[in-house]
Structure 1
Amino acid sequence: MLDVIYMKYIVVPHADLDIENESKKTMKKIHPIKSTLTAACFAIIAICLNSVVEAAPPAKNEVQLLVKPKVSMQEAALHALVSAQGGREQNRLAALDVRVIRVPAHASAKLMTALRRHKDIEYAEPDHLAKAVLSANDPNYTGGGQWSLAKIEAPAAWDTTVGASSVIVAVIDSGVSASHPDLSGKVLPGYDFFNGDADATDDNGHGTAVAGITAAATNNAIGMAGVSWNSMILPVKALGADGSGSYSAMANGITWATDKGARIINLSLGGTSSSRALQDAVNYAWRRNVILVAAAGNNGNSTLFYPAACNNVVAVSATDSADMRPTWSNFGSYVDVSAPGVGILTLSGASSYANWNGTSFSSPVASGVVALMTAANPSLSNVGVVDALLKNSDDIGSAGYDVYYGNGRVNARRAVAAVANVVPSDSTPPSVAFSSPANGAVVAGTVNVSVSSADNVGVTKVELYIGGILYGQSNTATATFSWDTTSYLDGSQTLEARAYDAANNVASRTITVNLKNASVADTIAPLAAITSPSNDTKLKGKIVKVNVTASDNVGVTKVELYIDGRLFGTSASATTSFSWNIGRVTAGAHTLQVYAFDAAGNIGSSNPVTVYK
């Protein structure tokens, strides 16, 4: 049977969930209130030694940076570095030789990282705004209806950042009602993996409630306040109107949201069955610097609940206003942090509000905190963000980590302060190398260019450049590119491989090959060998790894393994391994032999290897 995902609302006394019985919401219709605001004037005085520098504020889709080059920095080099990310010099603080740089928001993190690592840049920092201390004027915030915001010290965090529109939070749930007044202008085009169309409208209400907690429109004098005011919501519908859906829809949603630029993925849904596909989807997102946050479950026990129990997911349990665990909140060693989840006022229906209970509503509180953290420091990796979130939570319950509250109840003020001025801790670039062809090799025809890379955290992308032009890329650490050399002039050609990690560290390796398509025909056959098992080996176990290697003066296009004269397997890599299940292989002697092919059709074979079962 298909695993079914159940949405998590309040106390769940039965295994079979029923939304009608599951959620005891206290509905509270709230109308926008009229208020008369006294106009306030703020004088912002910019004082320099010799002059006052004035400039229009950056557009909403731009970020402004202050950059101080060293005297050794060439103007042309600085211009190239900035313009490569679509930035431009807007102004100068002449007395300080500080440049005011404007850059598209989506490129700000990459430019900041490049500037901070450049040997000729003294410093680069955000051009912070001078502003009054912020507090939301939404009725349910000022009226005390949102106790959770004060508990996590969100108002103090807002003095540093109220979030950024460049920080996209994907809500994988029952959809989102973009027409709700408190989500006006906050919801991006999404996708419905439940019905297979582009309409991610909520037909249940759960996803809208979750979205409101994280990023409801705030300081707009209506309704409620979200944790991260300016974050955008990417709706991904994986659940139907009855609140259930398949793991495949959830996994599809995770990978799609990642590819659409989500920085944070909130998962207020799940089931008690583990899944490799779900873990693979999580890993896909994690390797691309995405932070995944999930509800720990409402079953009131320690049964593992997925995706919260997946590796690389922040699992969130629930707390009440007294920092106590409600009896229905799941617990266990997979819980990372806790967050308010009792009586959480948020969106309901097309234009209403309601109080909700459940770890489903603890998770978006934590997601909102993470969104503030990434806005405060967009260059920080997901590893750095999660580490800071856990280390800067308020320790409640037993001292230190415990299975009920994890590392503690989230604290927005502490978490944002911890990352605001931190340079990414991962400064180790990946390693990258060419497996084939070899440096200096003579190549012709179609050649397989194989690249391998590794990183202390994880490789996010590998690129191949031919003659300085991007030829192809892959999201895997090891990749093979098929290169038709006949479309290039004969002679020397430069190949460059680049590998990137989530912290934007990059490594490159360059080799030179010689193209000879029009001159001398390649008549040299490849060399092939079986490196293990060795001749006369007595096989043990059920699975035997047959390791083979091949080489060629131009390049190996494929290798084939034959066992007892029959083709067993084929690989495009010159060095590879085949898994041979000998469970049903007859006792006695068996002959292994490998053949290697090149682009000219030359074939080389290994010495036969005899093994015994």
Structure 2
Amino acid sequence: MPAAADTNPPDYLTLMKAQEMWKVADGSGITVAVVDSGFKKVPGVRSESVLPGVSVMSPPIKEPDKKYPPHDDVDGHGTTMTAAIVGDGSGGAPKGLAPGAKVMPVRTSLGTPMAFAAGAEGAKGIRYAADNGAKIINLSWGDYYAFERLKPAVQYAQSKGALVFAAMGNEGEGNNANNLLAMLPGVIGVGAIDETGEPLDLSSHGPNTDLASYGSKARIRCKENRGWCVAVGGTSYATALASASAALVWSAHPDWTANQVARVLIETAGGPVDGAKRNDWIGYGIARPSWVLLKKAGNPGAPDVDPLAPAPTNAPAPAPAPSQTAAAAPAEAAAAEAGLPWQWPALGAVVAAGLGLAGTLIVKRRRR
């Protein structure tokens, strides 16, 4: 990772017309929960922009009473996401896209030797955020092993009116493993683009990609949270910007619901250049909150209808054709329907069987 914090990354805020948007709304009145590795007080993020938050880190077995402060972050990932949303641009930090919003840090074991516990901790953190006023929940990570605990936590947050964003993952150049959280109905799966609007090769992609935002070179915390560096932010950073975009829209329209905020972001997104409604790299397009705030574009629509839900149909579903392979390969069939690469569900089937989770992979809404 480069150590030169004075290397200027592309100014995506100018491209997004941030200065003009802030004259209309800056995120004030909106709380974004960043469920991540915590937050460390650093130059570039004002204390008043960050709420007390909570730590859900599990204590060591030998120290069951050990407590961890939410305002600490040994890794820097959560601090970076916080700055991308509410940073003040000083000290080498990025200027946040929604500087008037408040971030609620929810600290998990991400970035520590106990990271394997982060998924279950994150489920607790999501519920805490929903119960304590978070309108938007930013999940710039995923965890297969804890999916069965994360799923009901996300659904609980949605029942409380929260809008959830999840990073698609940074496996686009490898096995293209997608974040399972992005499959859940109502969750906005976020891919990453560069300053020209082209998808990053590293961005995981598939039918559960809903929006995209900038994730190329940006100011992020250096290794072990030691100062600001410039490096590729990936889908984590893109998700923070998508959450900030929602905060701007919601700040301007505080009477809207999560579904309505999501709907206008989808309707006003910069779609695929070939005219397609969506594609697997950027979903419905690049988030453009300026179209909502400055051009008054987008129809919020019904407050209680998921904009990503399949259109209702009165036609009965056709009976599935008999197949000799369907019974023999349920995991592969579910994976094909979900649009996952072969390598990921094949591995997942082994893990699921071991955990008693076989047959419970969740398929996000089908799109026709």
Deviation track 1:6-46 (CA, whole Å, cap 9, x = no partner) reads xxxxxxxxxxxxxxxxxxx323245xxxxxxxxxxxxxxxx
Stretches of structure 2 lacking an aligned partner (at least 5 in a row): 60-66, 307-368
User: Superposition RMSD on alpha carbons, in Å?
Assistant: 2.7
Q: 2:157 matched to 1:293?
A: no
Partner residue of 1:256 out of 128, 132, 147: 128
Partner residue of 1:236 out of 106, 114, 138: 106
Match of 1:174 in 2: 37
> 1:345: Cα distance to partner?
2.1
Residue type at the aligned position of 1:172: V
Q: What does 1:450-529 correspond to in 2, within 5 Å?
A: none
> 1:318: Cα distance to partner?
0.7
Q: Partners of 1:361 and 1:417 in 2: how far apart? A: 24
Residue type at the aligned position of 2:292: A
Deviation track 1:509-566 (CA, whole Å, cap 9, x = no partner) reads xxxxxxxxxxxxxxxxxxxxxxxxxxxxxxxxxxxxxxxxxxxxxxxxxxxxxxxxxx
Q: Partners of 2:124 and 2:131 in 1: how far apart? A: 11
Q: 2:192 matched to 1:321?
A: no
Q: 2:211 matched to 1:340?
A: no
Q: Partners of 2:272 and 2:25 in 1: how far apart? A: 26
SS in 1 for 2:126: helix
More helix by share: 2
> 1:223: Cα distance to partner?
4.2
More strand by share: 1
SS in 2 for 1:265: strand
Share of identical aligned residues, percent?
24
Residue type at the aligned position of 2:103: I
Query: Is the 8 Å Cα contact of residues 377 and 422 (structure 1) preserved in structure 2?
Result: no
Q: What does 1:48-59 correspond to in 2, within 5 Å?
A: none
Query: Is the 8 Å Cα contact of residues 373 and 419 (structure 1) preserved in structure 2?
Result: no
> 1:414: Cα distance to partner?
0.9
Q: 2:84 matched to 1:213?
A: yes
Match of 2:362 in 1: none
Q: 2:269 matched to 1:393?
A: yes
Match of 2:337 in 1: none
Q: Partners of 1:271 and 1:172 in 2: how far apart? A: 13
Residue type at the aligned position of 2:241: V
> 1:303: Cα distance to partner?
3.5
Deviation track 1:352-376 (CA, whole Å, cap 9, x = no partner) reads 3433331111100111111101111
Partner residue of 1:150 out of 14, 21, 26: 14
Query: Is the 8 Å Cα contact of residues 295 and 308 (structure 1) preserved in structure 2?
Result: yes
Q: Partners of 1:315 and 1:418 in 2: how far apart? A: 25
> 1:211: Cα distance to partner?
0.9
Q: Partners of 2:13 and 2:193 in 1: how far apart? A: 13
Match of 1:359 in 2: 235
Q: What does 1:55-454 correspond to in 2, within 5 Å?
A: 145-164=9-28, 166-195=29-58, 197=67, 199-200=69-70, 201-217=72-88, 223-242=93-112, 244-246=115-117, 247-272=119-144, 275-300=147-172, 301-348=175-222, 349=225, 351-399=227-275, 400-417=277-294, 425-426=302-303
TM-score by length of 2: 0.72
Q: Partners of 1:266 and 1:253 in 2: how far apart? A: 11
SS in 1 for 2:156: helix
Q: Partners of 2:245 and 2:14 in 1: how far apart? A: 13
- CA shift in 2, pair 1:252/1:418, >3 Å: farther
Q: Partners of 1:352 and 1:298 in 2: how far apart? A: 21
> 1:241: Cα distance to partner?
3.2
Query: Is the 8 Å Cα contact of residues 279 and 311 (structure 1) preserved in structure 2?
Result: no
> 1:421: Cα distance to partner?
10
Q: Partners of 2:116 and 2:295 in 1: how far apart? A: 38
Q: Partners of 1:340 and 1:224 in 2: how far apart? A: 13
> 1:302: Cα distance to partner?
4.6
Query: Is the 8 Å Cα contact of residues 169 and 177 (structure 2) preserved in structure 1?
Result: no
Larger radius of gyration: 1
Relative contact order higher in (CA < 8 Å, ≥ 6 apart): 2
Work out the number of aligned pairs and report it.
291
Deviation track 1:89-115 (CA, whole Å, cap 9, x = no partner) reads xxxxxxxxxxxxxxxxxxxxxxxxxxx
Q: Partners of 2:300 and 2:177 in 1: how far apart? A: 38
